[in-house]
Chain A
Amino acid sequence: MRRILYIEDDLDIGLIVQSHLTGRGFAVDWLRSGDGATERVADADLVILDVMLPGLDGFTVGQRLKRIAPDKPILMLSARSTIDDKLEGLQFADDYMTKPFHPDELAARIEVLLRRNGKADNQGQIKLGHLDIDLSKPMFIDQRSGEEIILTGKQLQIFLYLLRHPNQILTKEQIYEAVWGEPSWDGDKTLNVHIRYLREKIEINPSSPAIVETIRGIGFRVKQ
């Protein structure tokens, strides 16, 4: 079971979020202030942190937690919505969500953060169209034939990057920079070429792709 350390002082919101996340199969450790958070962060897979807290504010608590456990994803969940607040929060936090949030969106963002951190709920087992995917290996099996699909280095990196950000539209610059590790330049077609080769391997019909979706002019998306 995946554990979430939730720090929130508002009783109403706290109860709703706790019950919602518990209903989705998370173990929620809810604190009403930042006191004791540093002792309990080790047991959690993810931290949800409010900003306005009695005693130490959320930014300070978050920075402390990040110092103790740098790998632990922190999601700021705050009613403070100014750019300055967001920028301050994102200096250490992995995500910043403003209230009033949608409970489903919160759950989705938690999933994304956990998956990025290798804590997916299905231990990396995904079914996607005709593909069985095991992210932990990683391995891709065509359900129809039971055969493994072998991807080249760049194809694998591109596909994994899309899989780790499910339902998110990733621009070509984002993908290029994540995979190649260098800034992309205007009119570069390298990524398109690699996507075409990737689709030839994983799509049933590469000319009308069902797994890696093209969002015209914007980027690519893998829906789950």
Chain B
Amino acid sequence: MNRLLNWLSDARRSLVSRYVILMSVAVILIPLAIIVVVTALFLIYPPYEKEYAVYGGAIELENKWHSEVKSLGGKPDEVIQQRLEKLYKRYNKATIYWVNSAGDTQLQLPSDAKIQQHWTAADAMQFMKERPGSDELFTIVAFIGDQPSEGFIILEVPRTVITPTFKNTTFAKYWSFAFPALLLIILLLFIGASWLFFYRISRRLLRMQKAMTSSAAAFPGIPGRITVGKQDEIGRLEFAFNTMIGQLEHGRLRETEEEHLRRQLIANLSHDLRTPLTAIRGHAFQLNEEQLSSRGRESLQVIDRKVDYLSRLIDNLLSYTLLSAGRYPYRPEVIDMNRLLRQLCANWYAAFEQQGIELELDAPDHSFRWEIDPQWMERIADNLFQNILRHASAGGYALVRLYEWEGSGYISFVDHGPGMDSESDEAGSGIGLNIVKLMAKEMGLQLTIDSSTAGTRITLQGLNQI
């Protein structure tokens, strides 16, 4: 019992059951409505002319007439005459003949009606045969009383007054459009109800679609929640949608937390590695101030170089981790490349000078602009310069060249070192170049590397901004 109630209450909340109800009502209601409408129309506008209503139908009139005339049996002539005159007043479209027992026409109403004055049995037979078949007249012959010997009374009415006619009656006038009109209204009502039913479903679905494609302020990329309306299929969908949003938000929150933790961890790790390196360098520096053999000083220089190398490696590892996870902050702007590269060369010039490398910048008077992150470009240049310093100082020459060709800008870093395939005493430079490759790719720059024993040329090609 409970299960049935549950099922019923569930069914009421279901779109399917609502649709079934709608359809059932339509299926039952349409024929019912037709019957109701027709009946109402017959009542309001009967299919007879009002003035003919008194005659009723043919059978009704015939029955009435027979019983009327029968009741006149045995009555004196005056009474019959009075009665007939009274009846004639009622049936004023009719013609009444009274033929008495002698076979004479005793009375004809109206008096100018043309009928023979004397009736033989043959006349009566012929009359009875001819008249009822007439198209225009409806004839009733009724015997007075129980015996035919008392005579008979004939009632003739035009057929038009007893035959329902659809021509020129009020009924016909209204009927011809009222029925289709009412039917149309019922149909329209049904169509309207169906349309409303589906329109409301579609509106709710559209609302959901809008909600799905929107984006909440708190979580970019995740749609906002929607208010759950009715408890039907769509309502359950809305509820499920909200649950999903909740999970997404939760996931995003956890992701940002984890991201934050990971960045923090990497940053802390980098910090924790650098701090002892700083102390090592500091102590090496202090040691350098003491009296030392030349071998001791050489050792200190190696320590110093290795500290530098380690520090860069840590930096690159940190950058590489963030970069490959797509978490390296990228803030592109339109940058004058001449100016940026000149600044970067200026930063590195002293280091190159110290190593005895001539650093030259060859830039055109007219600069070109790229849309890039200057910090990233600085990182790229730093890594390339660092590689030249570490591996190509033997060449004694480095050139940074900027030029334009067919709408693209080119930046080349050229050195005269022994090339990339040569054995280097400081291996592991790969990560620096990998960062360059990753960053160039992310910024939409094309990287070309030409390396031979005569030197290395690394070229960045980018689309110039107007």
Which A residues are closer than 8 A to B by beta carbons? 10, 12-13, 16-17, 19-20, 52, 78-85, 98-104, 167-174, 186-187, 215-219
- If A82-B318, A218-B342 touch, whether A12 touches B271 (CB-CB below 8 Å) is no
Q: Given known contacts A10-B275, A103-B282, what 16 new A-B pairs fall within 8 Å (CB)?
A: A12-B283, A13-B282, A17-B282, A20-B285, A79-B270, A79-B278, A99-B275, A99-B278, A100-B278, A100-B311, A170-B346, A173-B342, A186-B365, A187-B366, A217-B360, A218-B361
- Asked if B346 and A99 sit within 8 Å, CB to CB, the answer is no
Partner of A13, one of B273, B278, B339, B361: B278
Contacts A167-B350, A217-B360, A219-B342 given; indicate if A80 touches B277 (C-beta within 8 A): no
- In this complex, the interface size class of chain B, counting residues with CB under 8 Å from chain A, is 35 or more
3 tightest A-B contacts by CB?
A16-B282, A79-B274, A217-B361
Q: What is the predominant secondary structure among interface residues of chain B facing chain A?
A: helix
User: Are A169 and B339 also in contact (CB < 8 A) when A186-B365, A217-B363 are?
Assistant: no
Q: A10-B275, A187-B366 are in contact. Are A215 and B346 (CB under 8 A)?
A: yes
Q: Does B280 lie at the interface of the complex (its beta carbon under 8 Å from any beta carbon of A)?
A: yes
Of A19, A52, A171, A186, which contacts B271 at CB under 8 A? A52
Q: Check A98/B274 contact, CB under 8 A, given A81-B318, A217-B363, A218-B345.
A: yes
Output the least CB separation between B379 and chain A (Å): 8
Kindly list chain A residues whose C-beta atoms are within 8 Å of the C-beta of B442.
none
- Give Cα A84 to B366, complex, Å: 32
Write the residues of chain B forming the contact surface with A, with a CB cutoff of 8 angstroms.
267, 270-283, 285-286, 304, 307-308, 311, 314-315, 318-319, 322, 329, 338-339, 342-343, 345-347, 349-350, 359-363, 365-367, 375, 379
Interchain CB contact under 8 A, B329 and A171: no
- Given A171-B343, A217-B342: A13 and B315 interface contact (C-beta under 8 Å): no
Write the chain A residue with the least CB distance to B268.
A52
Determine how close the nearest CB of chain B comes to the CB of A57; give it in whole angstroms: 12
Return A16 CB to nearest CB of chain B, in Å. 3
Q: How far is the CB of A120 from chain B (nearest CB, A)?
A: 21
B318: chain A residues within 8 A (beta carbon): 81-82
In the assembled complex, 8 residue pairs joining A and B whose CB atoms fall closer than 8 Å, in A order, are: A12-B278, A20-B286, A82-B318, A83-B379, A100-B280, A169-B346, A171-B343, A187-B366
Whether the Cβ atoms of A186 and B338 lie closer than 8 Å is yes
Chain A residues near B375 (CB-CB < 8 A): 83
C-alpha gap A100/B308 in the complex (Å)? 8
Provide the residues of chain A in CB contact with B276, threshold 8 Å.
12
- Output the residue of A172, A187, A215, A218 with the most chain B CB within 10 A: A218
B274, A169: Cβ atoms under 8 Å? Answer: no
In Å, the complex CA distance between A20 and B279 comes to 13
- Assess A100 versus B349: contact at CB under 8 Å? Given A19-B286, A80-B271: no
